[in-house]
Structure 1
Amino acid sequence: MSAPIFRDPIEDGAADPVVVRREGTDEWWMFYTNRRAGAEGPKFSWIHGSAIGLAMSIDGGASWHYRGTVAGLDDPADTPGGNTHWAPEILFAEGQYHMFLSYISGVPDDWRGIPRTMTHFTSPDLVRWTRVGPINLSSRRVIDACVFKCPDGRWRMWYKDEAAGSSTWSASSADLFDWQLEGRVLAGSPYGDPHEGPNVFALGGYYWLIVDEWHGQGVFRSDDTRLWKRQGLIGADPGAHEADQRYMRHADVLAFRDHAAMFYFTHPEWDERSQAEGPPDVAARRTAIHQARLTVVDGVLLCDRDVPAGVGLLG
């Protein structure tokens, strides 16, 4: 129970998953940050230079199969293949697919002072991507977009602003192309808990926002996607499987009638509590994708990360 459902067979660094159904088929496509766990280089080089990996399921998420990496996402002004692609958000709307990608020029070896750009792409088929361009948001250090159609009829994007204490901000759009900045949604350091990876979904009569707090997923509830009240933390307690003992990190959620499927990643071999500065070696850098079942009981979001092997939650 709670065994990994996917590991990247080349880099072994799959992280930040997002899952989308290919319209008109039974195919589910998982896009993810393809971290380079074994890469040489100083400091944080290994977490940069990543492509976007792709896996597919044809059995409702019970099994996943590697399909390579996504081409054509580099800025035309940058050296092809020598850049950083993080945390894609992908959805189908208005007859086409949209990707909102966290993009960094080059392969930096540190975090500080490095611009990150939220870049929009479109596709007719999830394979061929056309670059629309960068989105002007609250700073030049924004990552981890989540986009959701809200009850006020507008699309809303939540994202992490690293230049504002790792807080969550939002922008809204009528058409997914023109975005208006709205402001800070959840405070980061020093006024609150720093976090990343916001994800919004509807389940059980409420809207939910989860964020990766690096010791589990912070949970917030809303009636309208505008005002959020903290409910608690999920994913801090270990799962039953030996490879699912670590904190749930950067998750994606797909909601269905009576449950939601949450896809998250872990570092199975990193002792996060005693090695807080980061993974100390290649083994600790390696990651795995897992799934969990979410339900709502009496207005409370419940998480079961001990899903038996071979069970698909997509549908």
Structure 2
Amino acid sequence: MNTNLIPPAPLFRDPIYDGATDPTIIYNHEEDCYWMLYTQRRSSAVNIGVSHIHGTLIGVASSKDLVHWIYRGTLPNLEFEPGTNTFWAPEVIYVDGTYHMYVSYVRGIPTNWNHERYILHYTATHLWEFTFESMLNLSSDRVIDACVSEIEPGTFKMWYKDEVHNSYTYSAISKNLYDWDVIGPEITDVSHEGPNVFTLCDRHFMITDFWNGLGVYESNDFTNWIRKADILNTPGMRKDDGQIAHHADVVVSSNQKEAYIFYFVHPEYNPLQMPKDFEMTYKEARTVIQVAQITLGADGLICNRDKIFSLTLS
């Protein structure tokens, strides 16, 4: 086992506000390295209600090996209207030399959850230089957490959380990544957020954050999903990994044999143990990014967050 490629725990902490959440991993072709884009919560700031989860920028960290990460700052020039606004949960797909980013957006810095939310589309040929394209017209005015995959050549599918419709996963289809036709609800067994779709050994999976670990679903056609055994729903033993996992991204090797899940954790906060009106201090608000290995099992996915492994992609 290559000890230089054994991931530390935690894998990454935001050095500005200690609030890295909602990670997505994308290969940066111009810099020849991996980028982690994430919601930069202001966990160390003075908070009123949930103000620290709003007014957030998109943080950037880079790595040559997915193990050793360095903070690079935040994505510039995302504002498309006046004011200080909120950007969450970036999703990036690279197609024919262009990066397409779909990011959740809330106007201003609300102190509660009762505000409209949208998904914005940006494009770039270099990851530091995104251009605003549009605000997507989807199934409601409270949609977040886009995930986009090419489900067949030239056909792209988006999954996202619709908070107006019970916080279920809805989906939409596009032929060009600019114009999207809403299909409707797709995962409706329980309220959740953060859908993420990937293929491992020719099997299609979706994971969701249902606030009690991560739900796992499997499909033969990217549409009809069967619930499998949950993962990351019990505390781990590594440093800052002792609570349930949240909103994750999965990186799969090019040969579809290895897979790794990047997720965030509140090391000192479990929402199931707190009253609804609880206001976090820095202790409860801080978050970290962790990574674990995923393998296939009889009932879907296996993820032992305490297992020591070398992170390598074939």
**Which category of TM-score, normalised to the shorter sequence, fits these structures?**
over 0.9
- State the Cα RMSD in Å: 1.7
**Contact 2:34 / 2:62 at 8 angstroms: preserved in 1?**
yes
Please say if 1:254 is aligned against 2:244.
Answer: no
Segments of structure 2 that go 5 or more residues without pairing to the other structure are: 1-6
- Aligned pair in 2 of structure 1 residues 307, 85: CA closer, same or farther (>3 Å)? farther
Of the candidates 8, 19, 24, which is equivalent to residue 25 of structure 2?
A: 19
1:271: Cα distance to partner?
Answer: 3.7
Please say if 1:139 is aligned against 2:140.
Answer: yes
Q: Separation in 2 of the partners of 1:205 and 1:276?
A: 43
Cα-to-partner distance string for 1:220-275 (whole Å, 9 max, x where unaligned): 00011011010121010122213101111000111122121111000001144422
**Contact 2:168 / 2:192 at 8 angstroms: preserved in 1?**
yes
Q: Separation in 1 of the partners of 2:41 and 2:197?
A: 24
Of the candidates 41, 63, 66, which is equivalent to residue 68 of structure 2?
A: 63
1:292: Cα distance to partner?
Answer: 1.1
Q: Name the stretch that deviates more: 256-265 or 139-148.
A: 256-265
Amino-acid identity (%) = 41
1:276: Cα distance to partner?
Answer: 5.1
1:279: Cα distance to partner?
Answer: 5.8
Q: Separation in 2 of the partners of 1:203 and 1:286?
A: 32
Match of 1:287 in 2: 287
Taking structure 2 as the reference length, the TM-score comes to 0.92
Match of 1:122 in 2: 123
Q: Separation in 2 of the partners of 1:313 and 1:172?
A: 33
2:185 aligned counterpart, secondary structure: strand
Q: Separation in 2 of the partners of 1:279 and 1:268?
A: 16
Q: Separation in 1 of the partners of 2:299 and 2:190?
A: 24
- Within 5 Å, which residues of 2 pair with 1:261-280? 261-275=260-274, 277=276, 280=280
Q: Separation in 1 of the partners of 2:279 and 2:289?
A: 17
1:117: Cα distance to partner?
Answer: 1.2
- Aligned pair in 2 of structure 1 residues 128, 152: CA closer, same or farther (>3 Å)? closer
* Number of aligned positions between the proteins: 305
1:164 aligned counterpart, secondary structure: coil
**Contact 2:10 / 2:239 at 8 angstroms: preserved in 1?**
no
Match of 1:8 in 2: 14
Taking structure 1 as the reference length, the TM-score comes to 0.92
**Contact 1:2 / 1:240 at 8 angstroms: preserved in 2?**
no
Segments of structure 1 that go 5 or more residues without pairing to the other structure are: none
1:300: Cα distance to partner?
Answer: 2.3
Q: Name the stretch that deviates more: 5-14 or 278-287.
A: 278-287
Please say if 1:173 is aligned against 2:179.
Answer: no
Cα-to-partner distance string for 1:4-47 (whole Å, 9 max, x where unaligned): 10000010000000000112654000000000012224211111
Match of 1:53 in 2: 59
Q: Separation in 2 of the partners of 1:205 and 1:65?
A: 33
Match of 2:91 in 1: 89
1:146: Cα distance to partner?
Answer: 0.2
Cα-to-partner distance string for 1:88-113 (whole Å, 9 max, x where unaligned): 0011112111100101111011111x
Q: Name the stretch that deviates more: 210-219 or 256-265.
A: 256-265
**Contact 1:195 / 1:214 at 8 angstroms: preserved in 2?**
yes
1:151: Cα distance to partner?
Answer: 3.4
1:284: Cα distance to partner?
Answer: 0.6
**Contact 1:78 / 1:106 at 8 angstroms: preserved in 2?**
no
**Contact 2:229 / 2:301 at 8 angstroms: preserved in 1?**
no
**Contact 2:30 / 2:126 at 8 angstroms: preserved in 1?**
no
- Aligned pair in 2 of structure 1 residues 194, 2: CA closer, same or farther (>3 Å)? farther
